Chains A and B, each alone.
Chain A
Amino acid sequence: MLALLLSAALAATPARLGPDALRARYAGIRALSADVVQVKEGRFWARPLESRIRLTYTPERITWETVAPVRSTVTIAGDRLVVADASGKTRELGALAGDPRVVALLGFIRALVAVDLEAIERDFTLRYGDGEVVATPRPGARLALFERIRLRFDAHDDLTGMELVTATERTRLSFRNVARTPPPPGAAPGASR
């Protein structure tokens, strides 16, 4: 299943991506939703964990709803992180909110999901290749826990996959049914900045 999804995601003809085209495509999006398959493996995982996620994004809020294997929902709203378990009981992780590294991580997840290249570039150096953008942390960046991040796009510059590597973990995500709500007509690119 996983291999099938990944190969489907990576099957589109890769194109050499340009920063301007990508920025123009993703600038100022008002909403995004996608079905995501995530595979995590590393020191803390007994075996590779595959989970199915329903992801919704607006500039104000990200909902990361794990559908399987265990249902749970994580909501990121500003600097707040709220976790809801399978029964729907919610709890805000207040102890994390004061730590700027956590705040930076939440902001980064927001930027990653929205493909906000400008925001990603604050902490990472971007290299544009055939159908992919590879981000490596700048020296002294707040998000140095990531060693490398790879974003993959199809021939239409639609996001198809991500790979995030830390010292103890590798995370691969593949995106399907991506729906974007572009900025209203006439809104200047980068208006979301």
Chain B
Amino acid sequence: MTSPEWLVPVTWRSPLENVLQMATSHFTAMLLFAFFVSVVFGLLSKDTPRQRVIYGAKVFGAFMGIALLLGWIMYPIPW
């Protein structure tokens, strides 16, 4: 019976996995996600560069603001 893959020592993994490993906090992951999604949304939704930047910034702000707001709303919940 072979051992499950997650028991394989790190050195036996492929070079791709050894090079690319990033442990992030929830906030950092949220920041990166919001940034890239905002860039694409701004680019595809609007026509002029100025409109794209403004809309992208609004989307980014909405992502972060709503996430933080929801976090604080859920903070008093004990579980």
Q: Do A and B come from one complex?
A: no
Residues of A within 8 A of B (CB): none
Which residues of B approach A to under 8 Å, CB–CB? Answer: none
